Amino acid sequence: MQWQNKLPLIAILRGITPDEAHDHVAAVIDAGFDAVEIPLNSPQWRTSIAAMVKAFGDRALIGAGTVLKPEQVDELAEMGSKLVVTPNIQPEVIRRAVSYGMTVCPGCATATEAFNALEAGAQALKIFPSAAFGPDYIKALKAVLPPEIPVFAVGGVTPENLAVWLKAGCTGAGLGSDLYRAGQPVERTVAQAKAFVKAYREAVQ
């Protein structure tokens, strides 16, 4: 199974609370996003993810980030979560998620980690933290990866520099603090989501 979303941008809503989740997830989906992750180090993530899967699961790939253990994957599968994003390469987490039919985008930094992730069944790769490596590093890494594997830049991506990462060979990006910071007003999320979608469309037209 390959990455199938129309817009290869992942909204990372780290720190969001159950009370805030609906309005912010609605904001990014209305702007054009169809992949949303709520990291597991967010408050009451079980409540938020279960509710968002129920509310928006037919419109977007809803799931979790910072997934570290196979048992967490089991919990997410029970909720109907379809997306698993990790900060590291843990083959058993990847295999477990793939066995449930989830889309898995694990975080890696080196060619060794990337190929270990692909061997475990990952359908996409997240280069993290991208800003620390830079676009030239990703371009070099892409040269040895299977061309059909989508690579996402995560860490330091803004609407202003998104095109740079795409030019380096990334399919898309995971968007964290420049899209959403815990506690920010919905209006800010709306504005940033629209800015990212606009930047992506301008970069690929």
Of 37, 69, 82, 148, catalytic = 37
Q: Which helix (H) or strand (E) holds 113?
A: helix 111-120
Paired strand residues for 62: 36
Judge contact between 7 and 200, C-beta under 8 A. yes
Judge contact between 85 and 63, C-beta under 8 A. yes
How far is it, in rounded angstroms, from Cα 126 to Cα 128? 6
Catalytic annotation on 126? Answer: yes
Q: CA–CA distance from 6 to each of 79, 138, 164, 171 (Å)?
A: 24, 22, 20, 11
How far is it, in rounded angstroms, from Cα 65 to Cα 87? 8
- Residue 33: which residues within 8 A CB-CB, separation 6 or more? 7, 9, 10, 11, 60, 193, 197
Structure tokens at 100: 């449930």
Structure tokens at 113: 């980690």
Catalytic annotation on 37? Answer: yes
Q: Which residues are catalytic?
A: 37, 126
